[in-house]
């Protein structure tokens, strides 16, 4: 029997019938476009663009990316590179989207929307990698997460071997992090076997030479053990990330989920190591909560990215490490003020925490070292017992001696890069920045946050130029790191700073308005409530 003629394609009425494409319309970036709403009313939404393939089974690829971003509070747009016929048994077919149509999707999203982070998954041909690189040069974003998807855990090939060269030579040098699994790491390095954690370290170091800022070699597919170990490498130091290995068949899409969770955390303002830790923890928790689900009949099932909806409280898997939200109300002590009000550093710190300070910095410009260390030791205990991070201004020696949570440095102190070398990867490092260039340098040096100011005139620092809101905005928009505003901030003006609605502005740092006052606790409490109201107002 002759087959029936194919029905005409159903086109959107606006599109010309001869083509599936509509003429390209570009829009100015929302950052340069006049705002329709007042800044205080515009609700920021961290934005990840995933450039990846569709998994018909719904567990990996684009589908995993969108679910992971949604679960972690980021918006996810998607450029689809390929459509796979895939289920819990493996990959039955791959259909590539035409390269020019991928370029068109990239243009549509990147020319219109303010994308914070691009995450890549399946890039099945060398041409697609090239097109992506061109688009990223045209529309730079804050961070690029490259999951070099080549082989699925089921062992099926997901990209043409010819893409290897483009990955290594073009895309990796633009990437902030690349996240190969052990099979992919082996392929990238010419097929060397990776059998041990030590092999994974060597592979991370070799892949780092291709140009990414960070490398994460994932150990999900390593032979049986009670732990799932990933290796993080920043070019100098390795961090072994240990997680519980969940005994389950439902591990399809762990890699895609991990990379898009990293992207979501970066879009929210996290530092890289923090983002990776949160992402790994998220995957582990999702696997744990989904371990007995049954979807499909094959050997590898999907898991539930939205498990948190079913099991409040919603903070499962939260970690005790640097959380940019802790910058919300940053109390900075001042020795002269303590002397003026006849209070010890310890009493000042206790009162600030009692009033609601979320992080504390000891800034003792003219204290004797021994006396300072004694006070710092006491403050470490006070802060630890109350779950508030304690940083030391400038004095790396004191921070090391009292095992503080980190150090804050200014532009004329030793550089964040040197502080990182001395303190190691697990400590918090903040840098005072007045310009976008300094913010960029802080990111390159491996800092965790920047302090930006003086926003208003201040008496605490002599000869300190005032940036105003415009200066603060310029630095926030350029900064890849979370920002805390500082300089002359008090109960009268703190609300207006938060109401600027800048996405990575996480809080305010205050000296005089807390410590040059009779009752530190009352002042801190008052300021905390003002900040909470202002924050709620711009989020609503």
Residues in contact with Mg ion, shown as a per-residue x/- string from 193 to 232 under the rule CB under 5 A: ---------------------------xx-----------
Nearer to ligand ATP, 208 or 218 (CB): 218
187-225 as b/e: b if 16+ CB within 10 A: bbbeeeebeebebbbbbbebbbebebbbbbbbbbbbeee
Kindly compute the dihedral angle of the four CA atoms of residues 198, 203, 205, 209, in this order, to the nearest 10 degrees. Answer: 170
Footprint on residues 119-158 left by Mg ion (CB under 5 A): 153
Nearer to ligand HMH, 156 or 237 (CB): 156
Contact 381, 411 (CB under 8 A): no
Reduced to 3 DSSP states, what percent helix, strand and coil does the chain have, rounded to the nearest 5? 40, 20, 45
- The C-alpha atoms of residue 260 and residue 321 are separated, in whole angstroms, by 20
* 213 near ligand ATP, judged by CB under 6 A: no
| 144 interacts with, out of ligand ATP, Mg ion, ligand HMH, none, CB within 5 to 8 A per kind | none
| Distance of closest approach, residue 61 Cβ to ligand ATP, in angstroms | 9
Nearer to ligand HMH, 152 or 458 (CB): 152
Contact 130, 170 (CB under 8 A): yes
| Distance of closest approach, residue 60 Cβ to ligand ATP, in angstroms | 5
Query: Which residue pairs, CB below 8 angstroms and at least 24 apart, start in 279-283?
Result: 280/230, 280/241, 280/243, 281/243, 281/317, 281/319, 282/68, 282/71, 282/72, 282/257, 282/317, 283/243, 283/254, 283/257, 283/258
Nearer to Mg ion, 221 or 421 (CB): 221
| 55 interacts with, out of ligand ATP, ligand HMH, Mg ion, none, CB within 5 to 8 A per kind | ligand HMH
* 252 near ligand ATP, judged by CB under 6 A: yes
- The C-alpha atoms of residue 259 and residue 263 are separated, in whole angstroms, by 6
Nearer to Mg ion, 153 or 458 (CB): 153
Q: How far is CA 239 from CA 204, 207, 322, 405, 474, in A?
A: 11, 15, 16, 18, 33
* 186 near Mg ion, judged by CB under 5 A: no
* 526 near ligand ATP, judged by CB under 6 A: no
Nearer to ligand ATP, 187 or 434 (CB): 187
Residue 125 token pair: 């041909």
| Distance of closest approach, residue 272 Cβ to ligand HMH, in angstroms | 22
* 230 near ligand ATP, judged by CB under 6 A: yes
| Distance of closest approach, residue 203 Cβ to ligand ATP, in angstroms | 13
- The C-alpha atoms of residue 47 and residue 141 are separated, in whole angstroms, by 10
Q: Which of 46, 53, 148, 220 binds ligand ATP (CB under 6 A)?
A: 220
Nearer to ligand ATP, 148 or 454 (CB): 148
* 355 near Mg ion, judged by CB under 5 A: no
* 245 near ligand ATP, judged by CB under 6 A: yes
Stretch that binds ligand ATP, among 202-210, 252-260, 471-479, 488-496 (CB under 6 A): 252-260
Please calculate the CA angle 290-293-297 and round it to the nearest 5 degrees.
135
| C-beta neighbour count of 137 within 10 angstroms | 9
- The C-alpha atoms of residue 510 and residue 411 are separated, in whole angstroms, by 19
Q: Which of 148, 243, 301, 324 binds ligand ATP (CB under 6 A)?
A: 243
Please give the size of the binding site for ligand ATP, defined by CB under 6 A.
Answer: 24
Stretch that binds ligand ATP, among 242-250, 366-374, 483-491, 522-530 (CB under 6 A): 242-250
Contact 22, 14 (CB under 8 A): yes
Active site residues: 218, 251, 253-256
- The contact set with ligand HMH (CB under 6 A) reads 52-55, 60-61, 84, 86, 121-122, 149, 152, 158, 253, 255-256
Residues within the interface to Mg ion (CB under 5 A):
153, 220-221
């Amino acid at each position: 029997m002759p087959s029936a003629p194919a029905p005409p394609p159903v086109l959107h009425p606006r599109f010309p019938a001869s083509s599936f494409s509509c003429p390209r319309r570009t829009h100015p970036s929302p950052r340069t476009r006049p705002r329709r709403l007042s800044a205080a009313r515009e609700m920021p939404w961290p934005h990840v663009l995933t450039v990846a393939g569709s998994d018909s089974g719904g567990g990996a690829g684009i589908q995993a990316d969108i679910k992971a971003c949604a679960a972690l509070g980021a918006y996810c747009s998607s450029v689809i590179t390929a459509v796979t016929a895939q289920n819990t048994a493996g990959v039955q077919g791959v259909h590539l989207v035409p390269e020019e149509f991928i370029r068109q999707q990239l243009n549509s999203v990147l020319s219109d929307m303010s994308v914070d982070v691009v995450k890549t998954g399946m890039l099945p041909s060398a041409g697609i990698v090239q097109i992506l690189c061109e688009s990223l040069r045209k529309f730079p974003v804050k961070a690029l997460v490259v999951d070099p998807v080549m082989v699925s855990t089921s062992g099926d090939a997901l990209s043409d071997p010819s893409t290897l060269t483009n990955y290594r030579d073009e895309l990796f040098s633009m990437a902030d992090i690349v996240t190969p699994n052990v099979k992919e790491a082996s392929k990238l390095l010419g097929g060397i076997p990776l059998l041990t954690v030590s092999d994974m370290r060597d592979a991370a170091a070799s892949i780092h030479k291709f140009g990414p800022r960070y490398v994460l070699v994932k150990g999900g597919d390593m032979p049986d053990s009670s732990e799932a170990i990933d290796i993080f490498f920043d070019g100098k130091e390795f961090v072994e990330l240990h997680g519980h290995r969940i005994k389950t068949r439902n591990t399809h899409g762990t890699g895609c989920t991990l990379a898009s969770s990293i992207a979501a955390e970066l879009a929210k303002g996290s530092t890289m190591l923090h983002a990776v830790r949160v992402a790994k923890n998220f995957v582990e928790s999702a696997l744990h909560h989904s371990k007995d689900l049954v979807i499909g009949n094959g050997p590898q099932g999907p898991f539930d990215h939205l498990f948190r909806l079913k099991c409040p409280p919603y903070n499962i898997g939260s970690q005790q490490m640097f959380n940019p939200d802790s910058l919300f109300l940053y109390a900075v002590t001042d020795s002269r003020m303590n002397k003026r009000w006849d209070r010890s550093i310890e009493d000042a710190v206790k009162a600030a925490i009692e009033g609601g300070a979320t992080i504390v910095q000891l800034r003792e410009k003219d204290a004797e070292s021994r006396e300072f260390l004694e006070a710092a030791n006491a403050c470490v205990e006070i802060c630890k017992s109350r779950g508030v991070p304690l940083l030391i201004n400038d004095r790396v020696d004191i921070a090391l001696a009292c095992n503080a949570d980190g150090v804050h440095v200014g532009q004329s102190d030793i550089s964040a890069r040197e502080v990182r070398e001395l303190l190691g990867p697990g400590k918090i490092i903040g840098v005072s920045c007045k310009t976008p260039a300094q913010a960029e340098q802080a990111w390159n040096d491996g800092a965790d946050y920047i302090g930006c100011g003086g926003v208003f005139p201040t008496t605490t620092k002599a000869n300190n130029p005032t940036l105003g809101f415009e200066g603060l905005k310029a630095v926030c928009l350029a900064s890849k790191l979370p920002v805390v505003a500082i300089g002359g901030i008090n109960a009268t003006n703190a609300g207006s700073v938060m109401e600027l609605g800048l996405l990575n502005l996480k809080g305010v740092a205050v000296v005089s308005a807390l410590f040059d006052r009779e009752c530190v606790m009352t002042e801190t409490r008052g300021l905390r409530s003002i900040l909470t109201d202002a924050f709620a107002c711009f989020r609503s």
